[in-house]
Structure 1
């Protein structure tokens, strides 16, 4: 399916300065996100003029090419035109000047982007539930309402796990350890301590 984007992918790689100018490449729901060794080599105007590219901009320390909802197909083709180490975690050959705010925006964006589809899906379930109630097809006291509501709430209850996994991938550390730390926060015994409202002391000498 992605073959029809082969020419577009080739043009994108050329306009961002070539394969050797790409340090890392990721994508979110609509954009290709390039970390370039030298952003001055990217031809932003030429990228915007490509048939299949909606926009091109630099934001949060990344060079972003807006494609649309079919971005994953384009991404698969772009990867084929990059050097073998271009999509890895290798360091850029030329240091890029990125502000602290830019790094923060890049981290937040890179952490939340992978879980946006799950959050959007939960919102759609909530909207469906609201319609079912509005048209009196189910009642709030029914088990159907309870189960469907549970499905939409699951993403938010287990959000620490999703954020831990996504942040670990962004920071290139162990996802397993990140999930364990998130599990500590969601452990029912820890939750009960908070609900009890009593003081908690750790490693207190007696």
Structure 2
């Protein structure tokens, strides 16, 4: 065989082997990629409420877990959030919802005003949670010895002027205070309960919140126990 022909056949064989190797490599499955992360299953409103009350029992009995606060949780939440409840609460420093319900980062969407008074910003924030984040539960949380309630009752007792922006709080709480003035028991407690229930009912009556279950509750400052209001 002449050298040129031998070289041609050798090159042809090498090329065929290379092509076969490439075909085999393409057919051999590589390492499996991890599946894309999936969003957690959305809880129902009863499930979310049960979780809040269970967390509150841990808090009230001095056995909180402080769950979901680590670096891994922060990394997950950097991409998306899936809160289980919207809490409409008071700004009082003694009633932070995440602690009272022993929940972690990303578990609660909280909006807080003195005396859990509603305004357009609060309603828009709740609507964002219900419509955009598909949160199934809205919980209005009042508490005993509320300063906004006390200020309203003092104004009604004495007729003293209400300074500046505090007028909004007094105006919003006054109807509940007037309705309960002659009710038996502590006037401040009765006003707080009536006002908290009214906030709940106002949210319930708004079609923007139809997809969610809306409830009201009271936090006892002495015991830390949260109880649902009728």
Indicate whether the TM-score tops 0.5: no
* Greater relative contact order (Cα < 8 A, sep 6+): 2
TM-score normalised by structure 2 residue count: 0.26
Bigger Cα Rg: 2
